[in-house]
């Protein structure tokens, strides 16, 4: 299939309706996030650079949101050690903050341009990247085609295709092939992901494992942790983290079922989208439960039932307050959220059965005894009750999860090995530039 035909097809899809096509998901996601972005830097969305281009080779690395940004931080740090410039793009304010906190001035951060030809062309004309590294499943058709037209190698790292995305792409296999043939290399998370990318026409494809396993545990403000630990004291706790609509009420109902059996029980609820906190606080309070909101600085008193973790970037704090964590988007929504962070912090992991997006990680945790899947609210209630009651079983589960994460490490080294043929020429070029500059 020619690039010309692919452009025409992609344009047609762009007008055909967002819900039906995976091709325009990134653009739709941006449309949905309007009002939550950095207004001061909005021009970057149209490819207008906020910084001058540095001298020497530039690698463009893109990570859509917080999870992807955290996952690529060790990779970015490894590439920086070679002395090559990096422009890191992300799509959200939160991910921009993560990039600032963890990488600082060592990289140039920009908001990713919209997947529209004028914006992409303006971005590429300014930065002139010599390699593009894209994280996970960000398939931006116009960006891929524009990079291909400029002969810029494109590598997809930590590549993942969900069941739904794969089936959607298969229905449009010709368009998928026209896009994926522009990728110089796909480094997939798992064997299943690797086979899916091959089936859609990507070549070559290697499997690295999940880069998220090679990240450090989420950080914590030690003073904030000590303050909350003093307020909680010896009370038993459990957490429902990264929850989606409906799961917060389920967690509150679990609390209501258990607090008489476990005196002083405190339930920590951390919604995936904290902007829902006002409605959640009202809803849970309407159930007769006392809610303390982290964003308001509410003190956890002896009669507090629920700590609502309605802040961004404090998952490391919430996970260190408990030894049991239910990971959301798995009971009332589909796909699941990342179980690796709680596991690496020695937390017993519970989740619903809809964890397709993290299938391999959950399978490894289930096989080792580090995680347990539950069918519904009643089964979650039983699992939390069992773990609160049985300290030995809880600690076995915690240790199994941490050991599993350690066994899964190595994705970063495998990814760097696959990237070496693309990075080494730029390293040589950067060194020659430096030598000539002196």
For the chain, give every domain's residue range. 6-214+410-430, 222-408
Residue 217 is inside which H or E element, if any?
none
Question: Distance (Å, rounded) from C-alpha 229 to C-alpha 223?
Answer: 10
Whole-angstrom CA distances from 376 to 267, 381, 386 are: 18, 9, 15
Q: Out of 3.40.50.11720, 3.30.70.270, 1.20.59.10, 2.40.10.480, which CATH number does the structure's domain 6-214+410-430 have?
A: 3.40.50.11720
Same fold, 6-214+410-430 and 222-408: yes
The per-residue pLDDT for 138 is: 78
* Tens digit of pLDDT at every position of the chain (438 positions): 344 444 444 544 443 333 333 444 444 444 444 445 678 899 999 999 999 999 999 999 999 889 999 999 999 999 999 999 999 999 999 899 999 999 999 999 999 999 999 999 999 999 999 999 999 887 889 999 999 999 999 999 999 998 989 999 999 998 899 899 999 999 999 999 999 999 999 999 999 999 999 999 999 999 999 999 999 999 999 999 999 999 999 999 999 999 999 999 999 999 999 999 999 999 999 999 999 999 999 999 999 999 999 998 899 999 999 999 999 999 988 899 999 999 999 999 999 999 999 999 999 999 999 999 999 999 999 999 999 999 999 999 999 999 999 999 999 999 999 999 999 999 999 888 766 654
Whether the CB-CB separation of 266 and 235 falls below 8 Å is answered with yes
Q: How many helices (H) and strands (E) does the chain have?
A: 18, 14
Whether the CB-CB separation of 295 and 334 falls below 8 Å is answered with no
CA dihedral sign, ordered 13, 15, 21, 22: positive
Query: Is 81 in a helix, a strand, or coil?
Result: coil
Neighbour count for residue 122 (Cβ, 10 Å)? 17
Q: Which fold has domain 222-408?
A: Rossmann fold (3.40.50)
> What are the residue numbers of the active site?
68
Q: Which of 186, 189, 208 is nearest to 197 (CA)?
A: 186
Alpha helices per DSSP H over 181-311:
191-199, 222-232, 247-258, 277-285
Q: Which of 255, 247, 237 is nearest to 352 (CA)?
A: 247
Q: Where are the beta strands (DSSP E) in 161-235?
A: 185-188, 205-207
Residue 16 is inside which H or E element, if any?
helix 3-16
Decide: pTM greater than 0.75.
Answer: yes
Alpha helices per DSSP H over 286-390:
315-319, 340-344, 359-368, 377-389
Whether the CB-CB separation of 24 and 33 falls below 8 Å is answered with no
The per-residue pLDDT for 432 is: 84
CA angle 240, 244, 246 (to 5 degrees): 90
The per-residue pLDDT for 137 is: 80
């Amino acid at each position: 299939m020619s690039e010309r035909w692919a452009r025409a097809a992609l344009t047609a899809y762009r007008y055909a309706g967002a819900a039906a096509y995976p091709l325009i998901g990134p653009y739709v996601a941006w449309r949905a996030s309007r009002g939550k972005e950095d207004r001061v830097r909005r021009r970057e969305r149209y490819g207008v650079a906020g910084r001058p281009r540095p001298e020497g080779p530039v690698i463009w690395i893109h990570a859509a949101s917080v999870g992807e940004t955290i996952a690529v931080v060790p990779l970015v740090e490894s590439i920086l050690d070679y002395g090559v410039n990096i422009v890191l793009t992300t799509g959200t304010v939160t991910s921009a903050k993560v990039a600032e906190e963890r990488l600082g001035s060592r990289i140039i951060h920009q908001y990713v341009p919209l997947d529209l030809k004028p914006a992409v062309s303006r971005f590429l004309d300014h930065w002139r990247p010599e390699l593009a590294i894209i994280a996970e499943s960000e398939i931006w058709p116009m960006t891929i085609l524009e990079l291909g037209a400029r002969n810029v190698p494109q590598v997809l790292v930590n590549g993942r295709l969900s069941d739904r995305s794969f089936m959607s792409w298969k229905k449009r296999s010709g368009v998928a092939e026209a896009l994926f043939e522009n990728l110089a290399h796909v480094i997939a998370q798992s064997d299943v992901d690797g086979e899916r990318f091959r089936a859609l026409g990507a070549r070559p494809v290697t499997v690295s494992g999940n880069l998220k396993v090679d990240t450090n545990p989420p950080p914590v403000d030690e003073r904030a942790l000590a303050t909350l630990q003093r307020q909680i004291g010896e009370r038993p706790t459990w957490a429902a983290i990264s929850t989606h609509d409906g799961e917060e009420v389920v967690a509150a109902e679990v609390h209501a079922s258990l607090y008489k059996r476990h005196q002083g029980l405190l339930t920590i609820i951390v919604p995936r989208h904290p902007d829902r906190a006002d409605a959640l606080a009202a809803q849970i309070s309407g159930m007769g439960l006392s809610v303390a909101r982290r964003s308001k600085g509410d003190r956890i008193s002896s009669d507090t039932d629920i700590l609502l973790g309605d802040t961004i970037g404090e998952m490391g704090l919430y996970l260190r307050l408990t030894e049991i964590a239910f990971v959301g988007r798995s009971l009332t929504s589909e796909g699941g959220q990342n179980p690796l962070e709680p596991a690496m912090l020695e937390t017993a992991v519970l989740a619903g059965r809809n964890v397709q997006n993290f299938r391999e990680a959950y399978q490894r945790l289930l096989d080792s005894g580090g995680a347990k899947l539950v069918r519904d609210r009643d089964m979650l209630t039983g699992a939390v009750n069992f773990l609160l009651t049985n300290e030995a079983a809880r600690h076995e589960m915690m240790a199994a999860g941490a050991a599993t994460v350690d066994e899964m490490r190595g994705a970063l080294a495998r990814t760097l090995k696959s990237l070496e043929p693309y990075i080494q020429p730029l390293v040589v070029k950067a060194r020659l530039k430096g030598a000539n500059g002196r």
